[in-house]
Amino acid sequence: MSREEFMAAAAGFPEPFRLLIRESVESTNDEVRVLAQAGAPDGLVLLAECQTAGRGRRGAAWFSPAGESLAFSILVRPDEPKALWPRLALAAGLAVAEAVESFGLQAGIKWPNDIWIGQRKVAGILVEAGSDFAVVGIGLNVNSNEFPPEVSEIATSLRIETSQIFSRAEVLGEIVRKFAGRRRQISDDFDVLISAVRLRCVLTGKRVTLTTAGGPGVGTVEGIADGGELLLRTTDGLERLIQADEVRLLPP
Ligand code: BTN
């Protein structure tokens, strides 16, 4: 890793973001949680070249090959009430989508916060809350050329999409800048944030299967509600889902 390149990019981070680089950790989310519990400040960004136990949502493993991808976690100490913290996941997803777009690609958001290019996932986000802080973990495939067989059909990278190599440091800088603005919109300006998410929502109008707390479901996505919930039309009517897993598109 070019530590100098990352530190140079970090010099352009907005306040209060600061970069800490680790060569190898189990998971950057776990590392930031420990630092947060020890009193680390809002805006700490911990980037690891290698994660030996990177985690995705629902406890899945997250594959982030050294030198090719970005794996980092941001410590947020929100001023907003805890009930609004889940919105940080939407803010982070939007920030990543906008950063990807700033490099000339078209990004989609698969609610709540997978980032897609075309029909493939390029980035994932894992937000975990502590008592007085949240950890926003972001994994983005930047220069990867191949993936493990279990995800090779559904994953992509900036490089695969463009045949170009990207500066990971520049991409990191863009994401942090976008997130610095969007994280401020989880309260009063949430309508602005949601409008930008809606523009990129790849599920709207599509038939999907998914798993909710109440069990498996199937329906057509009508969009995203004002509070950030997924609006799913099922045979029982319009459902407003705060959380859902395994959201899969059905063929048209
Ligand atoms: C998902 O799509 O399931 C979420 C993936 C989140 C991966 C990132 S990589 C940095 C941070 N550390 C982790 O262990 N996970 C997140």
Q: What's the order of all strands across the beta sheet hosting 44-51?
A: 18-25, 44-51, 69-76, 134-141, 120-129, 114-117, 108-110
The pLDDT assigned to 1 comes to: 53
How many angstroms does the Cα of residue 61 sit away from the middle of ligand 1?
Answer: 8
Which atom in ligand 1 lies closest to the alpha carbon of residue 26? 14
Q: Which atom of ligand 1 is nearest to 57's Cα? A: 3
Among protein residues, the one with the nearest Cα to ligand 1's atom 9 is 139
* Residue 22 pLDDT class (50, 70, 90 cuts): very high
List, for residues 48-61, the tens digit of each pLDDT value. Answer: 999 999 999 888 89
pLDDT digits (tens, 9 = 90+) for 113-153: 899 999 999 999 999 999 999 999 999 999 999 998 988 89
174-232 pLDDT, tens digit per residue, is 999 999 999 999 999 999 999 999 999 999 999 999 998 888 999 999 999 999 999 99
The alpha carbon of 138 and the centre of ligand 1 are apart by a number of angstroms equal to 5
Closest C-alpha to ligand 1, atom 3: 56
What percent of the residues of the chain are helix, what percent strand, and what percent coil, each to the nearest 5?
30, 35, 40
Q: Which amino acid appears at position 174 of this protein?
A: E
Most ligand 1 atoms within 8 A of CB, residue of 22, 25, 26, 29 to mutate: 29
Q: How far is the CA of 185 from the centre of ligand 1 (A)?
A: 23
Ligand 1: centre distance to CA 12 (Å): 24
Say how many C-beta atoms besides its own lie within 10 A of residue 142's C-beta. 23
For 30, phi then psi, to 5°, come to: -65, -40
How many whole angstroms separate alpha carbon 134 and alpha carbon 140?
19
CA 102 to chain centre: 16
Predicted pLDDT at 117: 98
DSSP-assigned letter for residue 148: -
Q: Which helix (H) or strand (E) holds 197?
A: helix 190-200
Ligand 1 centroid to Cα of residue 225, in Å, is 26
79-97 pLDDT per residue, tens:
999 999 999 999 999 999 9
Q: Are 175 and 138 in contact (CB under 8 A)?
A: yes
Residue 185, SS3 per DSSP: helix
pLDDT at residue 64, as a whole number: 87
| Residue 218 Cα to ligand 1 middle (Å) | 27
Pocket, ligand 1, Cβ cutoff 6 A: 27-29, 51, 54-57, 60, 62, 64, 71-73, 114, 124-126, 137-139
- Compute the distance from residue 53 Cα to the ligand 1 centre, in Å: 10
